[in-house]
Amino acid sequence: MTNPLLDDWIGLYGGVPPFAEVRVTDLEPALEAAIVAQLATVDAIAKNPAAPTFDNTLAAMERAGRALDRVATLYYVWSSAMSSPDFQVVERTMAPKLATFRDQITQNKQLWQRIATIWKNSARSCNNEEQRRLAWLYYTTFVRAGADLDDGAKERVAAINERLAALYTSFSQNVLADEESTALVIEDEGDLLGLPSSVRAAAASAATAHGKAGTWIVLNTRSSVEPFLSYSARRDLREKVWRTFVERGDHEGARDNKPLITEILELRAERARLLGYETHAHWRLEDAMAKSPQRAMALMEAVWPAAVARACEEVADMQAIADQEGAETIRIAPWDYRYYAEKVRKQKYDLDEHDVKPYLQLDKLREGMFHVASQLFDLHFAPADDVPVYHPDVRVWRVTDGAGKHAGLWYFDPWARPGKRSGAWMNAYRNQERLDGDVATIVSNNANFVRGKPGEAVLVSWSDATTLFHEFGHALHGLCSSVTYPSLSGTAVARDYVEFPSQLLERWLETPEVLSKYALHYQTGEPLPKVLVDKLERASKFNQGFGTVEYLAAALVDMKAHFHLAGDAAVDPATFEHDTLKAIGMPPEIVMRHRLPHFNHVFADDGYSAGYYSYLWADTLSADAFEAFLEAKGPYDKDVAARLRQHVFSAGNTVDPAQAYRAFRNGDAGIGALMRRRGFPEPAKPR
């Protein structure tokens, strides 16, 4: 029988993913068939008797993976957004096989020789800079995967990668299981004390969705936990919710992630040594903007003292309010931080963030994002209801440029549900390319909002609105892509550069054009009042100590786990986390944003391992880049936007990111704009 998942995508817009045809039972055989087909194609490329050329080797490799890319797209959508128990069985089987497949390609000796020959003779074998960049990418990817190792070392690297893939799958599935199996069920309405109506409504909706109508449920996900911690007047329940959330993956039993972390760190360290690197961090950062763990650490250590000092000031303000209230004698604890931060915000800035929330309708904010895309990049969005989706929650928009040319599709999956991992993210279902004609990209944004009652507007927090714009920035990075080769397309850039466009786009949420037109009251339709806009502006640097410390602690622990540990001895994650935080002076009132046992960024794959610092590195660029607009005619300056599109959003990985940024900004980004943005004192300039 034929497998429908192996077919070319058909339909409008250059073909679309056949989500309506996906059956979980088809995924494993489709992946295995696509792997076999691609290995055969790669083998033919490697054994081509003709001398290696760009066209018969690298361009051929770019074409070779399309069938597997199509099937893998469906597989990874199910992994992140539709992870049912039957799919998890498939994932546990296929994750190690996919790792082995990747090693079979990078360890193909004949293919490696052809790639090395092309790169070493790139001045003659490549016709332009984009081809030379692709040749460099293949060469460095193969070297970093161990193509130059002896056979014994290659076998060991392959075995490590296979084992790591299995560990990563178990880690992420354990976190998902903890999120889905544990929640706070509230049966007495009196226990909702302090919660605003929108938070109560979301908890009631979650309860109904879980078959417990008439109660309220605080799900064990960030989008449910953080509003509860911000507003619940029940300190005992805040602590309970907080502990459940921060202890995901951190308990004895079958879902304990700590032993997995120990093994992952050992295997990563061993692999790095086999590949010729001092540590896993040195291996990971070699092709990043930072280039070395020392440079990444230098940035983090430059910001950390100012962030801690500001956090201590914030705690003092909170403690003063707690002492004034005098209902009970307390010392501010991590489950109190968000609650008392709201009180300080109200006292210092006369701003209750919940006063802003009625103006932040999810649908209107989406329209605001579309407006920004049209003004900055001349991209326009229209519903595409004729496209199949993988779940009724998902909607699709067609994207066109100013001349009406099709630029891509944008899928939006905003709602939390069982089987969907928490958080927010962007995917590319198909990369833009021009290798064999124009191919438009297909991208998606995904979130975990709690659906309201039918017909009711869904209101989000200012933080969630910022995240919406952030993820949309990733989508625009893909939609603006204008390159020839798919491996260089869109967001396929250095990890500490990929967050730059997305963090930059966050800044347009706060522009008057967006707030006046799209921050509309869900009942009256009135725009966000100027008095609230002014308060938001005055409070823009509020709580930056907490936000920076919460994030940066996780980034420092990640880096130290992969930079200072060479794998000579087994690591106890709990002890390491505790001792590292103590050594860097972590304020006891704050917990790191992602504790090690549920740190999916770092332990669900290699992606952000020794790379969580990337958000700070990229924000250094985004703060400096936004000042380019302010130095011109403002956030919508057409000339600056054109430079931004040309050198950043459209360029993909066709040029070195440092060169791309210099071409946009006419110079490098210093730390000053970042510190100004966060309200921290700027470091003294050397004399």
pLDDT of res. 647 = 98
Pairing of strands 425-430, 395-401: unpaired
Buried (b) or exposed (e) across 310-349, using 16+ Cβ within 10 A?
bbeebbebbbeebeeeeeeeeebbbbbbbbbbbbbbeeeb
Q: Which long-range contacts (CB under 8 A, 24 or more apart) does 109-115 make?
A: 109/147, 110/46, 110/47, 111/42, 111/45, 111/46, 111/57, 112/142, 112/147, 112/148, 113/52, 114/45, 114/46, 114/48, 114/52, 114/57, 115/52, 115/57, 115/58, 115/139, 115/142
Tokens 């959003």 -> residue = 649
**Predicted local distance difference test score (pLDDT) of residue 451:** 85
pLDDT band for position 1 (cuts 50, 70, 90): low
Q: Single out the residue of 268, 183, 181, 245 nearest to residue 598, CA to CA.
A: 245
The string of pLDDT tens digits covering residues 336-350 is 999 999 999 999 999
Find the largest Cα–Cα distance for the chain.
84
pLDDT exceeds 70 at position 567: no
Q: Is 301 a catalytic residue?
A: no
pLDDT > 90 fraction of the chain, expressed in percent and rounded: 92
Report, as an integer, the average pLDDT of 585-598. 97
- State the burial class of residue 371 (Cβ atoms within 10 Å of its Cβ: 0-12, 13-18, 19+): middle
Q: What is the DSSP string of 228-285?
A: HHHH---HHHHHHHHHHHHTTT-SSSTT--HHHHHHHHHHHHHHHHHTT-SSHHHHHH
Tokens of 209: 């969705």
Q: Which two tokens stand for residue 178?
A: 């903890």
What is the C-alpha separation between 8 and 5, in angstroms, rounded? Answer: 8
Pair of tokens at residue 65? 């993976």
- Look at the domain 4-106+108-145 and name its fold: Glutathione S-transferase Yfyf (Class Pi); Chain A, domain 2 (1.20.1050)
Amino acid, single-letter form, for residue 525:
G
Which whole number is the average pLDDT over 288-295? 95
Question: Is the per-residue pLDDT at 684 higher than 70?
Answer: no
Q: Which residues have a Cβ under 8 Å from the Cβ of 245 and sit 6 or more positions away?
A: 220, 222, 225
Instruction: Please give the helix or strand (H or E) that residue 425 lies within, else none.
Output: strand 425-430
Alpha-carbon radius of gyration of the chain = 25
How far, CA to CA in Å, does 5 sit from each of 1, 73, 74, 85, 429? 12, 10, 8, 20, 14
* pLDDT reading at 651 higher than 70: yes
pLDDT in tens, 365-403: 999 999 999 999 999 999 999 999 999 999 999 999 999
* Ranges of H-type helices in 610-656: 614-631, 638-644
Which H or E run includes 113? helix 109-120
Q: Which of 154-158, 350-354, 604-608 has the lowest mean pLDDT?
A: 350-354
Residues 62 and 42: beta-carbon distance below 8 Å: no
User: Counting Cβ atoms within 10 Å, is residue 506 exposed (0-12), middle (13-18) or buried (19+)?
Assistant: buried
* Mean pLDDT (whole number) for 62-79: 96
**Helices then strands, each counted (H, E), the chain:** 28, 7
Q: Average pLDDT of the chain? A: 95
Contact 249, 255 (CB under 8 A): yes
d(CA 457, CA 666): 44
Residue 611 has pLDDT above 80, yes or no: yes
What is the model's pLDDT at position 573? Answer: 94
**Which position has the higher pLDDT, 327 or 442?**
442
pLDDT digits (tens, 9 = 90+) for 137-195: 999 999 999 999 999 999 999 999 999 999 999 999 999 999 999 999 999 999 999 99
Q: Any idea which residue has 């907490």 for tokens?
A: 546
Domain ranges in the chain? 4-106+108-145, 182-246, 358-538
Smallest Cα–Cα separation from 601: which of 292, 171, 32, 234? 171
Task: Look up the CATH architecture of domain 358-538.
Answer: Orthogonal Bundle (1.10)
User: Which residues make Cβ contacts (< 8 Å) with residue 605, sequence separation at least 6?
Assistant: 168
Listing DSSP states for 134-160 in one string gives: HHHHHHHHHHHHTTTS-HHHHHHHHHH
Lookup result for tokens 């879902």: 255
User: How far apart, in whole angstroms, are the C-alpha atoms of residue 421 and residue 176?
Assistant: 6
Using 50, 70 and 90 to split pLDDT, how confident is the model at 327?
low
Burial of 109 (0-12, 13-18, 19+ CB in 10 A): exposed
Note the pLDDT tens digit of each residue in 88-129: 999 999 999 999 999 999 999 999 999 999 999 999 999 999
Q: How many CB atoms lie within 10 A of CB 7?
A: 14
Both ends of the chain: CA-CA distance in Å?
75
Residue 566 pLDDT > 60:
no
Confidence check: pLDDT of 565 > 70: no
Separation between Cα atoms, residue 342 and residue 318, nearest integer Å:
9
Local confidence band at 454 (pLDDT 50, 70, 90 cut-offs)? confident
**Per-residue confidence at 683, pLDDT binned at 50, 70, 90?**
confident
Quickly state the pLDDT bin for 685 (edges 50, 70, 90).
low
d(CA 534, CA 573): 45
Q: CB atoms < 10 A from the CB of 627, how many?
A: 16
pLDDT exceeds 80 at position 564: no
Angle at 681 between CA 675 and CA 686, to 5 degrees: 95
DSSP 328: S
pTM, two decimal places: 0.93
| Sign of the alpha-carbon torsion through 228, 229, 232, 237 | positive
Catalytic residue selected from 471, 506, 550, 589 = 471
Cβ-contact 580, 346 below 8 angstroms: no
| Beta strand pairing call for 441-449 and 425-430 | antiparallel
Taking the mean position of all CA atoms in its chain, how far away is CA 534? 31
- Rounded percentage of the chain residues whose pLDDT exceeds 70: 99
